[in-house]
Amino acid sequence: MTVLIRATSHRSHSFLDQRISRLSRRHRDTERVELKNHSRAPATVSRGHPRPAAGAVASVIAGGVAICLVLPAVCHGKVLLLAHYDGKADAEHARGDAKAKSVGARAVAGAAAPGRWGRALDLRTGPGGRCTYGAAGNFDPRRGTIDFWYVIDEDEPAPDNQGMYHPLIGWYDRPGGAFEIYARGDAIRLNVYRGDVHEGSWGPGDPATGNWHHLEVSWDCTGEDGRCAHQIFLDGRRIIRLTTDKVPPATAGAVHVGIWNYAFDIFLHGRVDELRITDQVEHLTDFSPPTRPYATPGTPAAVRAGVEQIQADLGKLAAALSDLTDAAALTGDEVAGPIGAAETAMTTAKVTLDSVTASLRASDRTDPSRLQRLVDESADALRTAHRRIAVATGRAYAGLPDLYNRTVVDVGYLKDEIEGLNRALHYADDIVDERPARDAVARGAKTVRHATDALVRSCEVFFDAFGDAKTRRADPAASTGDPAKRRVLAELTAQLTDVAGRVAGARGQVRAALRRLRDDPALRARFGRFREHVPAPLPPVDVAPDGTLKRLIFAGPTAGRTDVMLPLGFDVRHEDGPGMRWVEKNRFETHEDPKVLAQWREHGMPLSATVLNYAIGDSMANPPWFREHCGDNLDYFIHPSPNYIGTGGYEYRHPEVRDMIQSYLEEAARRCAAKPYTFIYKGPWEAHPYTGYGLSVPDQRVWAAQELGFSKFAVRAFRKYLAGKFESIDALNRAWRCAYDSFDAIEPPEAMIEAYFITKDERDQRVFSPFLPRQRVRPTPLTYEFERCRKDLYADYLADCRAAIRRGDPRHPLASSTSGGIMDEGLIRSIDDLQMAERGVDMWGKHPSGGYGWDDSPYMWGMNRYFGKTLVSLEYYGWAQEEFGDDFWPTFTIPEGTTAEDIYHAGRRDVWHELSWDRRMLIFYWTQKIVEIRGGVDMEHSPLIRPFINLVSVVKRRASRVNDVFMDVPIVRPRIGVLHPGVSIINAFPTNACRLVTRDVMHRLLAKQYHFGIVAEKFIVSGRDALDRYDVLILPYVQSFDDGFGEKLLAWVRGGGTLISAGPFGLVDKYGFDCDAGATAVFPELTFTYPPPGKYTLSWRWDAVRDGGATAATHLVRAFGRGTVLMTLDGRAFGQAGAATAQPHVGTEIGG
C-alpha cells in the first residue's frame, strides 16, 4: 500500500478518476442486467401477479459460498400500506385502516385514467375530492418510507411568478409531529414540524406539466444521536436531506395525499399512482425507480418478489461486509458487532429462503400470508443488518475529513517551527555547526511543499467525488452507498495517512535540531543570560461577571460544523443560544438548538455568545402577542412607514415598547443563566438605527440611507429632552439666539442622508465614494441638539437594557458588536462610543478590524483607557481582508492572483495586531473564509477547512505561550494623543469627516510605529483627562469646539504643547457660532472659508484669505507661546494617495 501511494502521490488527481472507472467495472455487468430487465418490463401488467424478471441473475462469491444474486427493480421492507388506485381511493393492502377518508365535508377523491399504470388518484374528480389514511398501523413515525408516482396536470403563474402550490404527501399528528412535501415552480419543499417549531429545506423539481415523476421520502429517528434524518428522492436522485430533532411520539394522526391538513382549497392539480408506505428506509443513495407496479402483499406474486429481494439483499450484504473489512483494516475501527449481527441475519435468511421456496412449490397447500410474514421478517433483518454495516463503514471513513483537517493544522505548525529554527540560526551564525539545523530546515520546507500539494489534490478529488452529496457526513451510511466512492475514501485515507506521517516526522526533526542548537555549549557560552521560556499554565475558559478574562479567547463561528472546527483549537463557538419565544403575554417558551447541546455534551465547549435581540440594526425582539397588539399603528415603529408593520423595528422611545423589551430581556437572561453553555451575551449588534433611502443619480450606482428619529414619540422625546436640558424656553432662546414660543413649537431638522457612488478599482472590487444629497455646511443649534439628543436617548435605552439583562442574570457579562470601526458615531447612526463603552456593556467590541481596519484596535484601546473594559471583536471578519478583496462577500471567491500563502501571512499579521492592542476575544466570522465551499457543498455542511486557516492554530499557540504577558503587562502610557472630537463628529462637514480623517492620521502613525492614544474632548472639558499628560495632540478635522475646550487647548499650546491639525480647527462652537479660541486665535491675520460644495462633489480643502487674496500654502506652521501649531488647509492632507474621496468597504458597515 505504501509503495502504491508514493508512486501515485505526485500525479494529477486524474489517476483517481481512472481508478474509479476501473473499480466501477466490477459492478457494470450487474448494472447491465438491471437495465436490461428495466427495458423488458411491460408498460402495463397485472397488479396482483407481476411478471418475474427473467435472467436477472448474477453470481458473487462471499466467504467461499456461491449466492444467487437476483436484482429486482425495487427493494422494500415490510409494506404497511399499498394503494394501486385502479378502482377507488381505498388501499388494496393496509396494516391499519385501508379506508380512504376526506377532510371536512368534502368527498373522497376518485380514480381517473390514465395512471402511471392503469388508473390513478385524481383530487380534481367530484366536488372537491380529498384523500387521507389513518396513520395507526399504516405509518411508523420512528422509521419508514413513502413512495409514489405523481404528475402535475394544471399549473398557473402566481402573483410572485412561482407557480401554484401542489401538496404531494404529508403526515400530520398535530400538535406533536408532522412533515409535508409540496411542489411549487421548479422546486420541492420539505417541512418538518415539532410542536410550534419547524424546519425545512428546498430541492430541485420539475415545473413542467404532464410529466410523471417518482418521489420517495424516508425518515429514520432510531439513531443514537437523538436526531431524525429525512431524505427525498425525485426520480431516484436525492434532492433533499434534512436532519431535525426527533418528533414527539405519535398517538394518532393521518397521512394526507395531495393535500395539507390546512388550507384545504389548495391541492395537487394532478394525479397520484402506486402509493406505498413501508417501515424501512428503502434507499440510502440514488436508485432506479420502479418499472412496474408493486405486488400486493399476501399474494404468491408478492412472496416471490420477497424471495428475490432476500436473494438480492444477501448479495449486497456480502459485498458490504467485504467493504467494511477493508475499511476497518485501514482505519483500525472495531467492527465485530455489526459483522456478527450481519452473519446471523444472513444465516437466518438462507434458512428462510429454503423454507419459503419449498412452500411455494406446494402453493396449493400454502397460506401466502404466512409466507409473507416470514419473508418480511427476514427482509427486515437483512436491511437492518445492512444499514448497521453501512453505518459502521461510514464511521470507519468518517475520520477522513478530520485527518485532512488535522494535517492542514500540522502543516501550519511545521511552517511555524521552521520559522523558529531559522530565527535561532540567525543567532547561531558562526558560533556552532549550523549544517544539521539547515538540513532540517531544507527537509522541512520540502515536506511542506509536498504536503501542501498533496492536500490540494486530495481536496479536489474529495469534492469531485462527493460534490453531489453535500450532507454526506451527517449520515455516514450515505457516504458509502456508492462502491466507487467507497474506494475513493479508501484511497484518500491511505494517502492522507502517509502525508500526516511525513509531516509528523519533519516536525520531530525540526524540533530536535532546535533543541541541539539551544543545548550547544558554544551558544550557551555566548548568550550566558539565555533562559528558555516556560509558559505558564493556561487558565480555564471562564469569564467574570464584569467581563474580565484570564486568557485570550479564540472563538469559532456560528455557522459550520463543530467537528470541522475542532482541529483549529477554538475555545468556544456558536451563537445559537436558547430560542426565546414570548408567545403570549404571560407565557414564554424556550427551544434549545440540538447542535449546541451536542457541542456541550460531547466537547464541553460553551457558546461564544448568546444573542439578545434588542439592538440589531433598527430592530428588536418581536413577540407574536405584541406584534398583534401593535397591528398597523405606525406610532409603535421607529420609522412610521407601512414597510415596518409586522417587523421588529419598534420605536424604543415609545413607553409600551420600552416596557416590553425590558421584560423580554430580563426573562430571557434568567432562562439563559440556567444553561451551562452560556458564556457571554451579545447585545448591541450592528446597532445603527437608520433606514435605506431611495436615491437615483443618472449613470451611477448609488447606495444611500437616512437617519431615523422623526416618529411621533421620537419628536415628543426630543422636545422633552430640550425641556429637561434648558428648563425654560427663554433659556433655550438665549442659547440658540432664536424666538420659539414653546418647546412644542420646535420641529426636528430635515433628515440627514448618507450616500455613496459605487465604482470598481483595478482588482474589480467595489469602492464607495461619499457624497451629500442634503448638506449642513454650517451647524445650527437645532441640528446639533437634535443629533446630540438622538445619541443620548439611545445610550439611555442601551443602559436600561443592560440593567434588565443584569436583573435576569447577574453572572454573565454583556458585550457589544457594533459596526463602523472607529467613531461609530457616523451622523446617521445614533451610537455614542463614549456612552456605549461606559454605560451600555461590560465588554466593548466592534467587529470590522484586520486588513484595512488596522486602526480600529488602537482606537479602541486608546478610548478604553478611560473605561477599563475587556475589548473584544465578536464578528472578526476583517483578517487578511486586503487579500480576500472587498467583494469576498457575497461571492466567496478569492481574487485572481491571491495565493493561500498570501492570506496565511496577512491573516497571522492581522490577528497578532488585534491581540497586541489588548483585544482579548476574537470570534472568527465568515465561515466561508474557514471551510472549503465547492462542488455544491455549502458552509454548513463542508467537512474540509481551507489550507490557510491553520493561521488560527499557529497564532493561538504562539499567543498562549505568552498569555500572562498579554493579560498582566499593561501597554505603556502614550504621549501622543488623537482627539475624539465629540462635537465635530456631529457638526463637521462633510458628514463623517472626522472618522475618515482620523483613519488618515492613524495610518500615518501606525506606518511610522508611533505610539498614541485617543483623547476625548468631552473628558478634557470635564476634567476627567488633562492635556498636560500629552506632548502632541492631533486634531482630525475638528471644525467645531465644545464649550471650554478651545481655551484649554490654547493654554496647553502656550505652555509648550505641539498641536497638529488636519484642516482649520475651532472655527465655530457647537451651535455654529463663530469661535475665537481656535485657528483664528493662532492665525489672526487669516480668514478661513469653505468653497460652496457641488451637488455630487466634495472638497476637503479650505481657503485661507489674507488681505483679500487666498494663500497658496498647503499648510501653516506657527510658534504659539512656547508651543507649536502645524495646520493643513486640506482636511485629507494626511491621507494615502488616491484616498481623498474614496474608501474601500472594509471597516464601514453600509450594506448595499
- Range in 50-59, 290-299, 432-441, 541-550 with the lowest mean pLDDT: 50-59
Question: What's residue 442's pLDDT?
Answer: 98
Question: What's residue 176's pLDDT?
Answer: 84
- In this structure, the strands spanning 919-924 and 553-556 are parallel
| Residue 730 pLDDT grade (very low, low, confident, very high; cuts 50, 70, 90) | very high
| Residue 924 pLDDT grade (very low, low, confident, very high; cuts 50, 70, 90) | very high
Question: What's residue 113's pLDDT?
Answer: 78
| Residue 248 pLDDT grade (very low, low, confident, very high; cuts 50, 70, 90) | low
Question: What's residue 68's pLDDT?
Answer: 23
- Range in 80-84, 137-141, 460-464, 475-479 with the lowest mean pLDDT: 475-479
CA distance 977 to 1122: 19
Higher local confidence (pLDDT), 366 or 1010: 1010
- The DSSP string of 87-150 is SSSS-SEESS----B-STTPPBPEEES--SSS-EEETTSTTT-B-EEE-TTT--TTEEEEEEEE
pLDDT for 15 beyond 50? no
Provide mean pLDDT across the span 825-851: 84
Question: What's residue 52's pLDDT?
Answer: 28
Question: What's residue 245's pLDDT?
Answer: 75
Higher local confidence (pLDDT), 58 or 416: 416
Task: Report the percent of the chain where pLDDT is more than 90.
Answer: 57
Compute the half-sphere exposure of residue 367: CA atoms within 13 Å on the CB side of its CA.
Answer: 4
pLDDT for 476 beyond 60? no
Question: What's residue 9's pLDDT?
Answer: 31
| Residue 910 pLDDT grade (very low, low, confident, very high; cuts 50, 70, 90) | very high
Phi and psi at residue 1133, in whole multiples of 5°?
A: -65, -25
Selection from 1013, 729, 736 nearest residue 866 by Cα: 1013
Contact 482, 285 (CB under 8 A): yes
| Residue for grid cell 400538535 | 175
| Residue 363 pLDDT grade (very low, low, confident, very high; cuts 50, 70, 90) | low
CA distance 286 to 241: 12
**Cell numbers at residue 620, please?**
428588536
CA distance 656 to 648: 14
Extended beta strands in 568-615, E state: 572-573, 579-584, 587-591, 610-611
pLDDT of 213-230, one tens digit each? 999 999 988 876 667 889
Higher local confidence (pLDDT), 2 or 629: 629
What residues does each domain of the chain span?
A: 79-282, 293-530, 553-690+780-968, 976-1144
- In this structure, the strands spanning 1068-1069 and 1040-1041 are parallel
CA distance 143 to 229: 9
Rounded to an integer, what is the distance from CA 601 to the centroid of its chain?
22
| Residue 5 pLDDT grade (very low, low, confident, very high; cuts 50, 70, 90) | very low
Provide mean pLDDT across the span 50-72: 23
**Cis omega (within 30 of 0) on the bond before 157?**
no
| Residue for grid cell 556552532 | 432
Instruction: Specify which residues 218 forms β-bridges with.
Output: 145, 231
Extended beta strands in 862-1012, E state: 870-876, 919-924, 976-980
pLDDT of 852-867, one tens digit each? 667 888 999 999 999 9
Q: Does domain 553-690+780-968 have CATH number 3.20.20.80?
A: yes
Q: Does domain 976-1144 have CATH number 3.40.50.880?
A: yes
Cα Rg for the chain, rounded, in angstroms? 36
Provide mean pLDDT across the span 1122-1135: 95
CA distance 908 to 906: 6
Question: What's residue 955's pLDDT?
Answer: 98
Question: What's residue 12's pLDDT?
Answer: 32
Instruction: Specify which residues 145 forms β-bridges with.
Output: 218, 278
pLDDT for 969 beyond 90? yes
pLDDT for 949 beyond 70? yes
Higher local confidence (pLDDT), 866 or 339: 866
Question: What's residue 53's pLDDT?
Answer: 28
Contact 304, 52 (CB under 8 A): yes
First to last CA, the chain: 54
Provide mean pLDDT across the span 671-675: 97
pLDDT of 1048-1095, one tens digit each? 999 999 999 999 999 999 999 999 999 999 999 999 999 999 888 877
CA distance 1082 to 521: 65
pLDDT of 768-789, one tens digit each? 888 888 888 889 999 999 999 9
CA distance 5 to 88: 62
Q: What is the pTM of this model?
A: 0.77
| Residue 110 pLDDT grade (very low, low, confident, very high; cuts 50, 70, 90) | confident
| Residue 250 pLDDT grade (very low, low, confident, very high; cuts 50, 70, 90) | low
pLDDT of 594-618, one tens digit each? 889 989 999 999 999 999 999 998 9
Question: What's residue 686's pLDDT?
Answer: 87
The three-class DSSP label of residue 607 is coil
Provide mean pLDDT across the span 319-343: 79
pLDDT of 17-56, one tens digit each? 332 233 333 333 333 222 223 332 333 333 333 322 222 2
Question: What's residue 467's pLDDT?
Answer: 58
CA distance 788 to 724: 14
Overall size of the chain counted in residues: 1152
Instruction: Specify which residues 527 forms β-bridges with.
Output: none
What mean pLDDT value characterizes the chain?
Answer: 85
**Cα–Cα separations (whole angstroms), residue 964 to 251, 496, 536, 838:** 59, 37, 7, 26
Query: In 969-1063, which ranges are continuous DSSP H helix?
Result: 982-987, 993-1007, 1017-1022, 1045-1054
pLDDT for 478 beyond 70? no
Extended beta strands in 671-806, E state: 681-685, 690-692, 702-707, 753-760, 766-771
Provide mean pLDDT across the span 103-132: 84
Question: What's residue 330's pLDDT?
Answer: 67
pLDDT for 103 beyond 80? yes
Fold of 79-282: Jelly Rolls (2.60.120)
Name the DSSP class of 650: B
pLDDT for 693 beyond 90? no
Which residues have C-beta within 8 Å of that of residue 52, sequence separation ≥ 6?
304, 308
Question: What's residue 1144's pLDDT?
Answer: 36
- Range in 242-246, 447-451, 1031-1035 with the lowest mean pLDDT: 242-246
